Structure 1
Amino acid sequence: MRVKVKEIPSILEKIFIVAAIFFYTRSPLPLVWSTEEFWQAPVLNFIWSSIYGITVFLILFHWRKSIAKARKDIFILLLAGLGLISVFWSDYAAVTFSRGLTLLIITLFGIYLGSRYELKELLCLFAWALGIAAAISLIYGLLLPQTGIDSEFHVGAWKGIYGHKNHLGRMMALCAILFLLFGQTFTKYRRVSLIGFTLSVLLVLLSTSTTALVVILTLLVLQPLFKALRLHLLIIIPFFIFTLIIAGGALAWFVSNAETVFTTLGKDITLTGRTQLWETVFSMIQERSLLGYGYGAFWLGYDGPSAQVWLTVNWDPPHAHNGYLDTWLELGLLGLLLFVLGYIRNIKMAVQFLRSTPTSEGLWPLVFLTFMILVNISESCILSLNGSAYWLIYTATVHYVHNRIYQRGQSQDRRDTGSGVLKTGTCKSA
């Protein structure tokens, strides 16, 4: 099939977007260097500078058509803006400014994607990026086990092209759910989707990430319930009452048998030390509860406030292993409230979008928002730059939904206005 000359810029743009999302998953592909050396290597600095430069160019080039409409995403913009202005109370202003500016660029890039592409196109772009990550992770595990498989802390657990098994696990959990919906949306690509889904689940199992596995199973169970939201209210209400009864019974059983469950999963009741970590982190939060320590200014190893946490828990966590605590740590109660209020609003709009979109892709916003709420219970990927693809996809998805609902509302208003004018004219002529 021949490619028309006028289509080349669009194709190149999509190739760049796929590559950018791939790198935003925080995969440096440490083929030659060790991870630390690679991050400091000039070639990686060049790659990131190029990605940010092209991103800014695309944002500015399409400013009027995309970013000018960003005011509808007020909570997202306020949260990203708070990250940048937290430089004024951060003890590490240079770090906060650099990371806050990066967060703002990624946020605007997500808004740009959500306004420029249809949801089906976004699913394709996301699937390409995460599918490539899955394929290369498989290659690393098979051909480069010294890099793709952990031999130090979690011996035998796969980490693929990422630095940790949990990072691979949660990325592949998202990839699995994405390919599941991709196959339902694009029926002619069901074989490709099945391969992508199977590979993703396999990598989750090889990573031994319990969180990722639980997230996949939960979303698989919830998907039929989400579809039920399209039904008439008289059917939905008793259906969800029954579901809540079942869920309540399951929760009661889990609480009563928690120790047995964790032992079966190979975990201890403290979630591998997370409960002690959360207690220590919460005590640090109380010292700066309103505005936090500044974006990116807490987890700086022994050179930052995180040193007190490390010394207390006797291990070196790179984050709080909870996205909500990390948001509170860095941006205070104000930042956490902005995220929670925005999230509640986004859930409401995702349900509205689902009920008005009969096709399979209508499930994606609600499924992804549920993924975000689940994975951040024991991991941290709300505003984290160590895997900023989550925030990018979140922003793009939410902005698309906001735009589409706004457009439908305007169309309905025009129809109502036209109907009113017609009725008025009819009355006068009578």
Structure 2
Amino acid sequence: MRKLLIYAEQGFTVAALLIYSGAILTLVLSGGAGQDEVVEYDSSLIRIIFFLIYAITLLLIVLRWKKTLYVFVLSKDIFLYSLVMLAVVSITWSFEPSTTLKNSFTLISSSLFGLYFVSRYSLKQQLYLLAWTFGIVIVLSFIFALALPKYGIQSDLGKPLWRGVFTHKNGLGGRMVTSSIVFFILGYQIQRRSWLFWGGFSLSILLLLLAGSTSSVFNLLILILAFFAFQIWRWPYQVIVPTLIMMATISQSLYFWLSNNAGVLLNSIGKDTTLTGRTDLWPLVIDMIWKHPWIGYGYGGFWQGWDGESAYVWLNAGWTPNHPHNGYLNICLDLGLLGLGLFLLGFWRSYMQGFAWVRSSNTALDIWPLMQMTYIFLASLTESTLLESNSLTWILYVAASFSVRMRHERKIKS
């Protein structure tokens, strides 16, 4: 009976991670609509499913309240707590209080799932559950693209590109970056049946290429290099220093080369120098940020279409984005420079503690939190999922932050 309950809980965790990843539900309910199609559909099923996830998560936390409270108190992640609380209290100045109230509730619920995830499962178990989740995503993405191309192929971008079980090809690309890293770390560390993990890694890269998400391909290449760079951090100091100097020199040379040849490089891979309109959008967003620089427009209070402050951006941009395609600008819109400062301070502290963790450990599994935070930093330069509620990105950031904070505090106490 106890084993059955454990399997049931793991099944719930995988199902919740799948839903939080943004897979399947919205794509199916919208009838496979393209990015420029305005389709109204009944989202009550999505709300019911998320409510069930919130309720079950809260129940599991209550059942293990001592362990959960231990993790919550031990981590002392004051910047993370303050950021979430700022989102909640922003209802008092929000330009759309009802949206802020709803989004704040879902942000708290998502954060609680991240807390549950890290307090219930070891790092190895977390990676195994993520591997199961992404394994399901990979299989279903192939099924949707090959057997149900109306859903699995995005054909409104000039050429057909795979989106699998997501509403946009960048959604598939972004998730496959995380999937690739999960399978790469497991394949690198676990010898038993490692072919399964390397198979998952290969299929993740294949889907990434079929999605045609250029930024995701670059992010994955950087992350693979970062993985081996983090391994170097474990070497003796007398070897680390000259190695890091050499890497810094090479990186600086590449930076100057890319700065001078960015246009040629982007054109060679079929991209324009505006990064698909992003560089034209960002100045307009910054204009609006400076109108309310310190505390923003309230969590979720800015992007309200033609009826909200986003009308200025829509009118001048010539298209109708629902986010600024930059996670840091999105935080500034929602919670101002105060919110961005809280996030950056918390991120920096957790990142440095992640380095300390890697330095004192000897397995590839222990690099996962640092890899995940690195990916979030990179992806947030062109995407806006950084502080997004009901998002796998935010949940994994919360889990990574708690993981390194717990290890740091335990090391201090020992």
TM superposition score normalised by structure 2 = 0.94
Aligned positions of 1:217-232 closer than 5 A: 217-232=221-236
Q: CA deviation at 1:154?
A: 4.8
Aligned mates of 1:44, 1:97 — CA distance in 2? 18
- Report the equivalent of 1:65: 67
Identify which range, 169-178 or 397-406, moves more after superposition. 397-406
Q: 1:28-77 deviations in whole A, cap 9, x for unaligned?
A: 43446526878624333321221111122222222221135324121111
Q: 1:106-158 deviations in whole A, cap 9, x for unaligned?
A: 11221222122110011111111122112211111111111111122353111
Question: 242, 250, 264: which is aligned to 2:254?
Answer: 250
- Report the equivalent of 2:343: 339
Return the letter of the residue paired with 2:412: G
- Report the equivalent of 1:388: 391
Query: Would the aligned equivalents of 1:229 and 1:236 in 2 still touch at CA under 8 Å?
Result: yes
Return the letter of the residue paired with 1:96: T
Aligned positions of 1:102-251 closer than 5 A: 102-251=106-255
Distance 1:314 1:67, change over 3 A: farther
Question: 22, 44, 47: which is aligned to 1:45?
Answer: 47
1:94 aligns with 2:91: no
Distance 1:8 1:306, change over 3 A: same
- Report the equivalent of 1:14: 10
Distance 1:38 1:189, change over 3 A: farther
- Between structure 1 and structure 2, the one with the greater Rg is 1
- Report the equivalent of 2:22: 26
Aligned mates of 1:157, 1:356 — CA distance in 2? 43
- Report the equivalent of 2:35: none
- Report the equivalent of 1:428: none
Identify which range, 205-214 or 295-304, moves more after superposition. 295-304
Return the letter of the residue paired with 1:389: L
Query: Would the aligned equivalents of 1:83 and 1:100 in 2 still touch at CA under 8 Å?
Result: yes
Q: CA deviation at 1:277?
A: 0.4
Query: Would the aligned equivalents of 2:332 and 2:340 in 1 still touch at CA under 8 Å?
Result: yes
Aligned positions of 1:391-430 closer than 5 A: 391-411=394-414
SS of residue matched to 2:367: helix
Aligned mates of 1:274, 1:397 — CA distance in 2? 29
Return the letter of the residue paired with 1:410: K
Identify which range, 269-278 or 394-403, moves more after superposition. 394-403
Aligned mates of 2:110, 2:300 — CA distance in 1? 15
Instruction: Give identity over the alignment, percent.
Output: 37
Aligned mates of 2:307, 2:31 — CA distance in 1? 22
Aligned mates of 2:178, 2:309 — CA distance in 1? 32
| Ranges in structure 2 where 5+ consecutive residues have no aligned partner | 33-37
Aligned mates of 1:200, 1:150 — CA distance in 2? 18
Aligned mates of 2:373, 2:138 — CA distance in 1? 22
Query: Would the aligned equivalents of 1:115 and 1:403 in 2 still touch at CA under 8 Å?
Result: no
- Report the equivalent of 1:366: 370
Identify which range, 128-137 or 283-292, moves more after superposition. 128-137
Give the superposed CA RMSD.
1.6
Return the letter of the residue paired with 2:409: Y
TM superposition score normalised by structure 1 = 0.91
Query: Would the aligned equivalents of 2:29 and 2:42 in 1 still touch at CA under 8 Å?
Result: no
Aligned mates of 1:67, 1:324 — CA distance in 2? 30
Aligned mates of 1:31, 1:325 — CA distance in 2? 30
- Report the equivalent of 1:423: none
Aligned mates of 1:73, 1:253 — CA distance in 2? 39
Aligned mates of 1:160, 1:84 — CA distance in 2? 34
Distance 1:129 1:367, change over 3 A: same
